[in-house]
Amino acid sequence: MSFDSWDDFDMQTIAVRAGYEQTPEQENSEAIFPTSSFRYASAQQAADRFSGAEAGNVYSRYTNPTVRTFEQRLALMEGGEECVGTASGMSAILSTFMALCKSGDHVISSQSIFGTTKMLFSKYLSKFGVEVTFVSQTDISEWEFAVKENTKAFFLETPSNPLTEVADLRALSALAKQSDALLIVDNCFCTPVLQRPLELGADIVIHSATKFLDGQGRVIGGAVVGNEQVVGEEVRGFMRTCGPSMSPFNAWIFLKGLETLSVRMKAHCENALDLANWLESHPKVEKVFYPGLESHPQYELAQTQQSAGGGLVSFRVKGGKKEAWKVIDNTKMLSITANLGDVKTIITHSASTTHSRVPLEDRLKTGITDNLIRISVGLESVEDIKKDLARGLDLI
């Protein structure tokens, strides 16, 4: 079935089947094409492929059938015209900004973004004369106040990492349009299964495919989704020339990940909500952050733009770093690592790992205190996850 004929299908079906054309071998599972280049029938065909006069594969830095299948499938799932697969989530963000911005441009970003993205903005984009202003994730008036004549883009993740703050995508999209800026949303935490930012007014969606899209913690990759002009031409043009390409093998892993994404997200959300409720009633827990809890400050908003709370739960233990580390170090099953979106439950001390390069003042301003623990809730039995956390909590 071709790319254009999926209008009448549900996302779950698209995730399993879209974007692939069977080879003459009649395989049922998608083939991997680990080839750097492609052969032409004649010198004329080679010339036509290079000039673009004839559509088709040229060189795997920018056209590879396995990567293309992943791109088409994810584009359909997000409801975008085009998708570009990249080597990592960070290179998806870098490619987007390098393609769209020039020296003298201004970007407004939520301050509650992934620590490495913050570094990319403040250390590298700034070197090329792109100025970034950081504002509150949830206070629209700060965005409004930050808009300048040369504001080119708004950037955010929702829910944010690790405090799961929810940004109002409809309101920010309206403000971005009014300001002639593009709204760019990193949809890593929700995936298109729970939230489709383009439908809510965003212009570009970014993914770290490394997380839930793979879903089993195996490979690194990323993606940019949006319209034909901005993503299909500009971001793809950057990719073609500058080369942060997705490998065919990784694209194949992500394809296999997409096939089970709906069922995994449902199970992650069920476990996460159960765990969040349990943590909220635990005497050694000071505060729980999860958009699916009624106590979450943007619970109502979350209900209107995401179909469930997601797989990430953060909480503050009573005490400080010592108590937080005690909980982490007394787990026997949970993985102490900094990835997320894996079937294996992951426990992370954000302040000393993912956000350790963020200056202390900024870290505290964004609520990433020393007693904060982030859990990427996996697909083990939730009762076993609770037991593993209780070991340390009961010692505090």
Ligand X SMILES: *Cc1c(COP(=O)(O)O)cnc(C)c1O
Please give the residue ranges that form the binding site for ligand X (CB under 6 A): 88-90, 114, 117, 157, 161, 186, 188, 208, 210-211, 220, 222, 340
* Cα–Cα dist 290/164, whole Å: 6
Q: How far is the CB of 278 from ligand X (least distance, A)?
A: 24
Instruction: Decide: 14 and 73 in contact? Cβ < 8 Å.
Output: yes
In the complex with ligand X, which residue's Cβ is closer, 326 or 344?
344
Cα distances from 363 to residues 138, 143, 188, 375, in angstroms, run 16, 20, 21, 18
Of 158 and 262, which CB lies nearer to ligand X in the complex structure?
Answer: 158
State in angstroms the smallest separation of the CB of 238 from ligand X: 16
Instruction: Report the residue number, 90 or 302, with the smaller CB distance to ligand X.
Output: 90
Cα within 13 Å of Cα(212), Cβ side? 29
Of residues 214 and 323, the one with the C-beta less far from ligand X: 214
Q: Which C-beta is closer to ligand X: that of 93 or that of 285?
A: 93
Least distance CB 268 / ligand X (angstroms)? 14
Q: Is 215 left (phi over 0), alpha (psi -120 to 50) or beta?
A: left
Min dist. Cβ of residue 236 to ligand X (A) = 19
Nearer to ligand X, 90 or 194 (CB): 90
Question: Interhelix angle for 248-259 vs 261-280, to 10°?
Answer: 70
Q: Output the smallest distance, CB 160 to ligand X, in A.
A: 8
Nearest Cα to 149, choosing from 103, 104, 101?
Answer: 104
Is 168 within 8 Å of 202 (Cβ atoms)? Answer: no
Residue in 252, 204, 164 with CA at minimum distance from that of residue 79: 204
Q: Which is nearer to ligand X, 80 or 392 (CB)?
A: 80
Which residue's C-beta sits nearest to ligand X?
Answer: 89
Distances (CA, A) of 395 to 53, 328, 333, 336, 373: 69, 12, 17, 19, 16
CB of 15 to ligand X, least distance (A): 20
Q: What's the closest the beta carbon of residue 52 comes to ligand X, in angstroms?
A: 30
